[in-house]
Amino acid sequence: MPDNDTLSQPESMAHRQQTASLRPQFVFTCDACHHQIEIDESVATAIMRHGCPICGSGATAACLRRAADTPPPDH
């Protein structure tokens, strides 16, 4: 069990880097159902193999964009 000193220490640099890498890297927009989701690289790989997680339609590279290059959706 961690002692109180461990619990009160500031967030480590490694933890901050790990958390930063969990931010979405891509935006997937399905050509068939037009559903848009923010995803990381591992999910992008799975979608390219298995298709849209919503409708199952096949995915192409054109369905993926870097999150930084994609404007937020209009509501």
pLDDT in tens, 23-59: 789 999 999 999 999 999 999 999 999 999 999 999 9
Residue span of the structural domain in which 41 resides = 13-69
Q: Which helix (H) or strand (E) holds 28?
A: strand 26-29
Percent over 90 (pLDDT), the chain: 56
The residue type at 5? D
Q: Cα(52)–Cα(72) distance, rounded to whole angstroms?
A: 20
The per-residue pLDDT for 30 is 97
- Structural domain contains residue 43: yes
Q: What's the whole-model pTM score?
A: 0.63
- Structural domain contains residue 39: yes
Name the average pLDDT for the chain: 80
* CB 57 within 8 Å of CB 30: yes
Q: Count other Cβ atoms within 10 Å, centred on residue 4.
A: 7
- Structural domain contains residue 24: yes
* DSSP assignment letter at 67: G
